[in-house]
Every structure is written in structure tokens, then in C-alpha cells.
Chain A
Amino acid sequence: GESVGLHLPTLSVQEGDNSIINCAYSNSASDYFIWYKQESGKGPQFIIDIRSNMDKRQGQRVTVLLNKTVKHLSLQIAATQPGDSAVYFCAEKTDAGGTSYGKLTFGQGTILTVHP
């Protein structure tokens, strides 16, 4: 079956370092990928997304890279801060029967811990 998964379940970094969180996907028909951040006991928050016709997109301190050849997605966080500590999920969007409904399939998640 189709799935979205993560290479590393945990990542620990020092404050100020750059962080890279990886995600592998298997559905080559997915046209949209999203990264969410979830803090403990809260709902996920949208970070950044990327369409399948792009290979890179930048936001504020975050960059998402998409490599369709190897079906790999990554989230780079520059100058990581303690407030970045959270669980990060990648998700892929797959259409249902040609409708515009954005069904998301979520990966397992990576726990990012930033040490002061």
C-alpha cells in the first residue's frame, strides 16, 4: 500500500544549529506535500508546503526540498531555537476520484529536541 514514512524518529540538536528532518514517500501520484509542527498536547500547525512541480520552497527559517527521483522530502530549519522543539509530520495529498478534496496521509513523525 501507499505510505509516507520518516527515516529518523528522533533528532537532537544544539540551539543555533541547522536541523534537517527527512521523509520518504511511496505514492508517486501525490501532487502536494506538507510539513506540520505539533507541540505537546496541541493540534498540528502548518509550516510549509510544496507542489510536486517544484523541488524547493523557502519560508521564514524553513526550507522544504523535494526529490521526486528518490521520493524524498526534507524540512530544513535554520538556526534552530528551543521553541522549535516539537514533533514534525510530513503529509502527502492524494486526490480522491478526481475531486478537489485534499485527503492527507501523514507520516509517523519525528521528535525534534533543541538543547539550549
Chain B
Amino acid sequence: DGGITQSPKYLFRKEGQNVTLSCEQNLNHDAMYWYRQDPGQGLRLIYYSQIVNDFQKGDIAEGYSVSREKKESFPLTVTSAQKNPTAFYLCASSKRASAEQFFGPGTRLTVL
């Protein structure tokens, strides 16, 4: 089955620790995205990548980092510089020229 997978589903982190969220897609999509969702709010763009080895900051990139070494993978690292990291994180992908983004199931990160 083609799709997007995110792991883990739930993640707990102590303050001051970096943590990496995984996102993999087998849809052969060029573009990949990371969003953050807080309770009762819409999705806010953290980073996006249009092609391998290239990525751009979204609206709320501070405290986050990404890499795009492979077309299929777009991991997100939440660093200790992110002041309020507890949230639901969603990864998405799309064909380069298409607006339709396909979303993964999400990772819920909780800082203890």
C-alpha cells in the first residue's frame, strides 16, 4: 500500500533533550512538509522540502531542524531551543505541481 508513515505515534521527552520524528513516504512525491497542530487550532507549517537535499523554513521554524537526504524520508528534529514543543506533529507529501497534500497519521509529542 502506498502512503505516509510516521513514527512513533506517541513520544515523550524530557526538557532539554532533542528528539527526532520520522516521516517516510512511498508515493514517489517530490515535496514533503512538516506541520504542527495545537489543540483547537489549525495546522502551522514548520518546514517544507521540494526536492532532495533542499528545504525551506515555514512559518514557525525556530527550534526545529530537518534533513532531506532521500526522496522518501524527511525527519524532523525538535531541539531544546523549541520553547513549547508539546503538540501533534503531522508530515505530508505532494506531487511537485499538485496542491493535494497527503498526510501521515501524526506523532503526538509530550514534554515532561
Using a CB–CB cutoff of 8 Å, the interface residues on chain A facing chain B are: 4, 9, 32, 34, 36, 41-46, 49, 89, 93, 99-104, 106-109
Give the size range of B's interface with the partner: 20 to 34
**Are A49 and B42 in contact, with the CB atoms below 8 A?**
no
Q: B42 touching A93 by the CB < 8 A rule?
A: no
Contact of A44 among B31, B43, B48, B98 (CB under 8 A): B43
Q: Which of A34, A43, A49, A108 contacts B104 (CB 8 A)?
A: A43
Q: B106 contacts the other chain (Cβ, under 8 Å)?
A: yes
The residues of B that contact A101 with a CB separation of less than 8 Å are: 31, 48, 50, 96
Instruction: Give 18 new A-B contacts, CB below 8 A, not counting A101-B48, A108-B41, A109-B41.
Output: A32-B99, A41-B106, A42-B105, A43-B90, A46-B101, A89-B42, A89-B43, A93-B99, A100-B96, A101-B31, A102-B31, A103-B45, A103-B48, A104-B43, A104-B101, A106-B44, A107-B42, A109-B42
Chain B interfacial positions (CB closer than 8 Å to A): 4, 31, 35, 40-45, 48, 50, 90, 92, 94, 96-106, 108
Whole-angstrom CA separation of A5 from B93 in the bound complex: 23
Q: Is the CB of B98 within 8 A of A102?
A: yes
Please determine whether B106 and A34 come into contact, CB atoms closer than 8 angstroms: no
Residues of B within 8 A of A103 (CB): 45, 48
Among residues of B, the one whose C-beta sits closest to the C-beta of A107 is: B42
**Chain B nearest CB: distance from A33 CB in Å?**
9
Are A34 and B100 CB-contacts (below 8 A) given A42-B105, A101-B50? yes
A33 nearest in chain B by CB position: B99
User: Which chain B residue shows the least CB distance to A9?
Assistant: B40
- Report whether A43 and B98 are in contact in the complex, using a CB–CB cutoff of 8 Å: no
> How far is A43 from B89 in the complex, measured between Cα atoms in Å?
9
Task: Give every chain A residue within 8 A of B94 (Cβ-Cβ).
Answer: 102
Nearest residue, chain B, Cβ from A99: B50
Chain A residues whose C-beta falls within 8 Å of the C-beta of B102 in the assembled complex: 46
